Structure formats: C-alpha cells, structure tokens
Amino acid sequence: MIPNVLSIAGSDPSGGAGIQADLKTIAALDCYGMAVITALTAQNTRGVSGVHVPPADFIARQIDAIFDDIDVAAVKIGMLADPAIVEAVADRLRHHRARNIVVDPVLVATSGDSLGGPGVVEAMRRHLLPLATLITPNMPEAAALSGRPEPRTLGDLEQIAEALRADGCAAVLVKGGHMSGDSADDVLADAAGLQTFSALRVATRNTHGTGCTLSSAIAAHLARRLPLHAAVDSAKRYLTGALLHADGLKVGGGHGPVDHGWAHRP
C-alpha cells in the first residue's frame, strides 16, 4: 500500500521550496503527498518579497480535516511563521497522535530572507520539538535553537547535535551544507549515539529548497517503514542526485531549484 505523507509548510510559487518541493519529493519516493499550507509567500529564485499568513485556527482546521479522514504515515513540518501557529500545529498533532514527525525548523530562506517571526524559536523549543521524531536544522538554525555559537567544524556539529538532543529532542540531524570542503557532512544524534552522513559536495548554484527536499524525503522513507538511520541515508542520496542533476533545469536567475524528478528519468 502507498503510504500517505502530510507536509505542513509554506507555499513557494516558484516551485523550488516549501509545499511544492515537499510534494514533488514525496511523489518521487512513491508516497501520496498532502499539504496543510501555513503561509503564502511571494518569492522566486532571487528572494522573498512578501508573506501572507492565515489564522492559526484555520491551519488547525486543515490538520483536523486530514487526520479525521486519512491515515497519515508521516508528517513533515516546515515554515511556521509565528508562535500561535507553532502552538496550534503542536496541539493538533498531539491530539491526533501523529507519528513519524520530521521538523525542518525553517527560519531563513536560501536567499537570506527571514521566514520566522519573533518568538518562533522559543515556541518550537517548548511545544513542537518534544513531539518530533527528528529535527533537521542547518547550522544557523541549530545555533538559534540551542542558543550556542554557529558550528564551524564537524566536531562543532557533533556538539550542537548532542546539545539539542539533551534539550529534549528525540533525534537531531544537523546539516553541514554551509561548511566548505569537498564533502557535505551531516551529523545525526539519537539514542544510538552519533553518526556522520557524508556525500560529495555538488558545485551548483541551484540549491533552493534543499532543506525542504531532504526533510520531506526522510519523512517519506519513514512512512515506508525504513529505520531512522536508513531513512536519513536514503534521503541524503536522493538529495545528492537532485543536486547533481539541478543544472539541467533552467528556472530563474537566482538560486534555482534541485531536480526532484531526476531518479525517474532515463
């Protein structure tokens, strides 16, 4: 049976990140994708020019509508624009006993534009992260969530991943994509300890939506009942392939998207 995966995130009209990237990834990995939209953004590959946020109670109604009717095998969470939305999402997921929750704490877009308002980090720490099966912060997001300096080395990634787990996260994948070097290294901290996932660093300008793509890929693999470490490994290999094929796309003049459909082409 094809598992159902729910993305709770913002919309990117250019198609490279947010809900659009999540649904493409979920479909590419043979799951059925669903979407609760937490924000409408006006953005393209060059940046974000506007954000419209629906009321928190309407976002809660979207979540209830899905869980009241559909079996949800995994949930990916992306952009949550204000503390009220964070609390509403956490409350409804707790109410519905959602499983396989992957939180990508989207705070800043690839372009550098802010996507999270005041109080969002603290609301995530208090209400959402304790519910998560896995959180997937990049280096700046890990620093914001932990209150520590931004990591610079692989050792720093390990320390901040362990610190976030000690704060109550079941598992933490700190992504090292902002570091330099030939290898793109991510560090997973969970009950089994620390594990590093490495891949070739791909030289491309088309990196829009990489965090959304990785987290939704992990959620899809968890929905297909892969253990966490295998889900992370498979998701990273999928993202690496999407980056390797990204220059075959011609989308915009800024940071273009990755190629979510690469694996289904000859």
The residue count of the chain comes to 266
d(CA 195, CA 212): 21
The torsion region of residue 60 among left (phi > 0), alpha (psi -120 to 50) and beta comes to alpha
* Contacts of residue 21, Cβ cutoff 8 Å, sequence gap at least 6: 12, 15, 209, 212, 213, 216, 257, 258, 260
| Catalytic hit among 133, 207, 213, 240 | 207
Q: Which of these is catalytic: 110, 133, 210, 213?
A: 210
Tell me which of 10, 176, 211, 256 is the catalytic residue: 211
Is 193 among the residues known to form the active site? no
Q: Is 169 a catalytic residue?
A: no
Please tell me which residue in 33, 45, 169, 175 is annotated as part of the active site. Answer: 175
Among the listed residues 15, 25, 41, 212, the single catalytic one is 212
Q: Is 204 a catalytic residue?
A: no
In the chain, DSSP assigns E strands to 4-11, 32-44, 47-52, 74-77, 101-103, 134-135, 172-175, 183-190, 193-200
Catalytic residue among 10, 15, 78, 209: 209
Q: What are the residue numbers of the active site?
A: 175, 207, 209-212
